[in-house]
Structure 1
């Protein structure tokens, strides 16, 4: 009762709490720069999405294909699959879990080669957004939504989706899948908690936060990082400790407003082409029909890098306590937007920009300290 009264007051008295349309500013470790835009390009691949590293090199997904990419950017088809690939994970023994959008998770290589897992305890695994191997017989999987496939992630956001789940899958099929958590708002990334504590870290995109869950049993989510200015996606542990986090889009006041105005939101869904919804995107600026905020309009032939934008490129470095340390950006006036996957390859951090269709890399050891904009004024906002 008290909770309902508080929500009513928050809604009508200044838009407080969950009804606030304010967005956290990018400052401190998140201060904007152009480092992602100036990173080295590795390969141009349309709709490149996921990246993993095997002993023989880098694998990335593009549509229904997995490609091998060498250091020079040369590409060779590794395999082709039954549906668009929505996530990739690799085990210590080099088995690969392949998320097939709308179908489930397929295992390639290892002792479970060829197996397809299409159901979880709560229903079909139709939106596999991320996965990780606990061992050769155990896989953890994120099902972003029970209502929409991965390709329609913005539909889930605009419909206020909260049907996501994280499950533990026994690849031997001796035990049924176990839901570790349900009712999540688009879980989009997962990795083991630093320190081998028996817990995992999950990015919950629509709640703009990271949570921890027990890896072996159902548990209540515990928030470890909240109030992010963007939508967190895939997570990757770092060999030096801490984590890499890809934020595949940023929030804006206009988007937050639409998500809270139910009448307008429902009318938009009913009458407007989804391509032009007031919603984040992995790329923007390709059509004059796209929704704009006044600050995003090109003036004097220039798209200001600090303008409000539907798409953005952002990689965040977190320490072992989930505190942001530094970040690299591709801002509104640039193009390497929609960062969907990160993987370490020695001293290089490889990132996939699905918005531009490009694999990029930079030497992350050269940025081991927080960015000092006093000595690098060209990266100051």
Structure 2
């Protein structure tokens, strides 16, 4: 809807006005230091884990074009592909990897690979994978752009939910706002819609979504189902400056045309260098020191919901912590394992 029409509607009746709001981190999302206290499983700065899964042999994670295994505190490369690995899941103790430009590939514990599906819907921008019985479910963030930040500023809603049965990929839902997480729980499909700040449950992959959590203060990401507990990664945090820009098309267009994408006023996986970063949102206080109460450009956060969608638990990192940008998570030996891509490490929560 055009800004002019929105203004006229609000003038006629203020209750019709539409304004973006960012809810507070409250109840189950109340800030804490649990991610800061988590144990690091990888050598500092050597990897950039994007997704992580648990297998019978241990943990496996993706980093760039590679899939690595973590066994007895030793990291070994399982396989290297010709394109980025964008998502992982496990089926029948085989790792299934989404490889950009190739499709879905099965990876054995020995490192041997086999193409599972190379149909067009799953060859690009796959954001998450899940096992649905004998089939696989894949979310595609966008069919038009390949970067989350560009989808955000353009209002892109071309995301897909794809069901892969055998070697055939079937699009079961489309026009989604960057779907970034998918899981199967109690016969329903859980779906994270990042740009809608919403988590849905669907009785069938192509069915109508039932809202579990709406207007979240974060952009929800991948989900791990552990019985009645559903753990979600939160790669990005919402902030009021970005929300303001999204309501001002002219200002948003000027930003995207005249400023490099690295300097856009959008959430990030890591805060970046304060010396070159634009001073905004009160984040830089004195001598470039980021204060703990400052509005953040990045965050470290995972949260757990119950079957009603209520956020029951969460683990945070401080605003000035390097442990930001959690893009994947799993549960292994009773511990939550978070892939902090922004912090370039795997984190094991000792108290979750």
**CA shift digits 1:133-164 (9 cap, x unpaired):** 2134x111101101122xx2111111111000
2:165 maps to which of 161, 165, 170:
170
What's the counterpart of residue 240 of structure 2?
Answer: 253
> Matched residues in 1 for 2:281 and 2:190: separation?
37
Post-superposition shift, 1:76?
Answer: 0.8
**CA shift digits 1:105-157 (9 cap, x unpaired):** 223349x932342323xxx6411000112134x111101101122xx211111
Instruction: Assess, with a 3 A threshold, how the Cα gap between structure 1 residues 249 and 357 changes in structure 2: closer, same or farther.
Output: same
Answering whether residue 220 of structure 2 is matched by residue 232 of structure 1, we say yes
> Matched residues in 1 for 2:270 and 2:80: separation?
25
Post-superposition shift, 1:15?
Answer: 9.8
**Structure 1, unaligned runs of 5 or more:** 366-381
CA root-mean-square deviation = 2.5
> Matched residues in 2 for 1:104 and 1:265: separation?
34
> Matched residues in 2 for 1:361 and 1:7: separation?
49
Instruction: Assess, with a 3 A threshold, how the Cα gap between structure 1 residues 114 and 11 changes in structure 2: closer, same or farther.
Output: farther
Instruction: Assess, with a 3 A threshold, how the Cα gap between structure 1 residues 13 and 291 changes in structure 2: closer, same or farther.
Output: farther
Answering whether residue 210 of structure 2 is matched by residue 222 of structure 1, we say yes
What's the counterpart of residue 115 of structure 1?
Answer: 116
What's the counterpart of residue 129 of structure 1?
Answer: 127
2:291 maps to which of 304, 310, 314:
304
Post-superposition shift, 1:301?
Answer: 6.0
**CA shift digits 1:150-202 (9 cap, x unpaired):** xx21111111110001011111x4xx533221111000001112x2x2x2000
Contact 2:131-2:184 within 8 A present in 1 as well: no
Answering whether residue 271 of structure 2 is matched by residue 284 of structure 1, we say yes
> Matched residues in 1 for 2:53 and 2:244: separation?
37
Q: Secondary structure at the match of 2:60?
A: strand
Contact 1:48-1:354 within 8 A present in 2 as well: yes
Instruction: Assess, with a 3 A threshold, how the Cα gap between structure 1 residues 6 and 273 changes in structure 2: closer, same or farther.
Output: closer
Instruction: Assess, with a 3 A threshold, how the Cα gap between structure 1 residues 6 and 297 changes in structure 2: closer, same or farther.
Output: closer
1:136-151 mapped onto 2 (5 Å cutoff): 136=134, 138-149=135-146
Contact 1:242-1:321 within 8 A present in 2 as well: no
Answering whether residue 153 of structure 2 is matched by residue 158 of structure 1, we say yes
1:85-104 mapped onto 2 (5 Å cutoff): 85-91=85-91, 93-104=92-103
Contact 1:246-1:340 within 8 A present in 2 as well: yes
Post-superposition shift, 1:262?
Answer: 0.6
Instruction: Assess, with a 3 A threshold, how the Cα gap between structure 1 residues 118 and 291 changes in structure 2: closer, same or farther.
Output: farther
> Matched residues in 2 for 1:360 and 1:212: separation?
28
Q: Secondary structure at the match of 1:245?
A: strand
What's the counterpart of residue 30 of structure 2?
Answer: 31
> Matched residues in 2 for 1:160 and 1:12: separation?
27
Post-superposition shift, 1:48?
Answer: 1.2
**CA shift digits 1:256-306 (9 cap, x unpaired):** 011111111111111111011011100013253323424201326642112
Answering whether residue 174 of structure 2 is matched by residue 182 of structure 1, we say yes
> Matched residues in 2 for 1:33 and 1:58: separation?
26
> Matched residues in 2 for 1:141 and 1:60: separation?
18
> Matched residues in 2 for 1:224 and 1:166: separation?
18
**CA shift digits 1:50-103 (9 cap, x unpaired):** 10111111001110011111343x211111112011100111x12222112344
> Matched residues in 1 for 2:295 and 2:11: separation?
25
Q: Secondary structure at the match of 1:298?
A: strand
Answering whether residue 334 of structure 2 is matched by residue 347 of structure 1, we say yes
What's the counterpart of residue 49 of structure 1?
Answer: 50
Q: Secondary structure at the match of 1:254?
A: helix
Could you state the TM-score of these two structures normalised by the residue count of structure 2?
0.91
Q: Secondary structure at the match of 2:255?
A: helix
What's the counterpart of residue 363 of structure 1?
Answer: 350
Contact 1:104-1:127 within 8 A present in 2 as well: no
